[in-house]
Amino acid sequence: MAMNSQIGESRSIENSITAVILDLDGTLLNTEQATKSVLVEVLAKYGKVVDHDKEEKKLGMIHKDAAAAIVKDYDLPLSPQSYSQLIYPMYHEKWKKSKPLPGANRLLKHLRKHEVPFALASNSSRENVDMKISHHAGWRESFSVILGSNQVKMGKPAPDLFLESASRMGVDATHCLVIEDSVVGVQAAKAAGMKVVAIPSLPKAANQYSSADCLLHSLLDFQPEIWGLPPFEDCVDDSAFPIESIYLKGLFSNGLLYQSEDSKPSALPDQVSGLFFGWVKTNNGEIFKAVTNFRWNHGCCGSKRKIHVCIVDEIDAKVCDQQVQLMMVGYIRGFSVQEDLTAQVEVPEERKSAARVYLDLPMFSTRRDDPLFLQASWEDLYV
């Protein structure tokens, strides 16, 4: 299944969707990037380093199983219980800084506005789920049901969490749509007899999600109407809409943005992929309209994000080889490229022209005066 694929509109949905069930970590919240430094710090104490292949296989596991696997994989002189006691205070501090993933707030507000029941079903314990969402205003009150893995007999990949969520919402399982980021979550949803949209936390692992009904880059690509749910109402046209601002900084050279080494891990989630538009500010304070194409190259040596920046304003001088700041305020859905290409991808002229028009609309133009963008130091962008 190719990334960024939606079920075609001509394909009928056997059972209409009347409720949505969402995963938390890696689907709504960027907790996994925020906390990945914890394992690095703990292993360093014992003279060990992270094996990324092993960690990818733990994605979506309940904590008890993941802790046991870590102790075994790295031959740590700790029991799984001792390991948990060591890391949880560190996790608690990181969770406070976890940010919603692109499109998360937009989707929650939309479902709430249209009174579509939606549940939160996480492999984290209920106590940890409550702690994570407590830092995000209105989240706790929004969900019809909130469940952690310790509230059912078995966590994912067993279907218990999803079946219990449907039961508590009073909805038949076949009328539920699940949105997940992990393979075990997709397995659990299918075992529950539900439709499932997969948004992989690890872009290079997209080929492992073949059982999902739909595979997307991010929540920004989700189209509720395909599932019989009310469509989003914030679209400028069929493809573009406003997003919560994404701030970046780095060296702009030959059309590419090279992120500064001091950029924090949580600043740009792995789920950011596709075509965005906003402004670029040069080191002398000039501001230009820009389109940014984020994509992944997957090779034998790992995955690497490419950030192509195209200034769409008419300018006299060439902007190159200087530090710049970016603020992306809109997204253009439906623009996709082959992810294994290493050559720079040229943004179509019609997209550039559209971005120029979008950025003159009041819903976007007023955001150009964002103090964080205009006046911030580099460090302020990542507070």
Considering 25, 181, 213, 221, which one is annotated as catalytic? Answer: 25
- Among positive and negative, which fits the CA dihedral 63, 69, 75, 80? positive
What CA–CA distances, in Å, run from 35 to 62, 132, 379?
15, 12, 20
Q: Which residues pair with 279 in a beta bridge?
A: 289, 327
Instruction: Supply the DSSP symbol for 232.
Output: P
Q: Where are the alpha helices (DSSP H) in the chain?
A: 31-45, 52-56, 63-73, 80-95, 104-113, 126-133, 139-142, 160-169, 183-191, 349-358, 362-365, 371-374
Using CA atoms, how far apart are residues 57 and 84, in angstroms rounded to an integer? 19
Q: Decide: 217 and 337 in contact? Cβ < 8 Å.
A: no
3-state secondary structure of 269: coil
What CA–CA distances, in Å, run from 250 to 260, 306, 307, 324, 379?
5, 13, 10, 6, 12
Give the angle 126-178-183 at the CA atoms, nearest 5°.
80
**Cα radius of gyration rounded to whole Å, the chain:** 21
Number of residues that make up the chain: 383
3-state secondary structure of 380: helix
What is the distance in angstroms between the CA of the first residue and the CA of the last residue of the chain?
37
Using CA atoms, how far apart are residues 135 and 340, in angstroms rounded to an integer? 37
Distance of CA 351 to the CA centre of its chain: 23
Considering 23, 160, 181, 270, which one is annotated as catalytic? Answer: 23
**Catalytic (active site) residue 23:** yes
- Among positive and negative, which fits the CA dihedral 130, 136, 137, 143? negative
Instruction: Supply the DSSP symbol for 175.
Output: G
Burial of 117 (0-12, 13-18, 19+ CB in 10 A): buried
Residue with tokens 């964080």: 372
| Active site positions, annotated | 23, 25
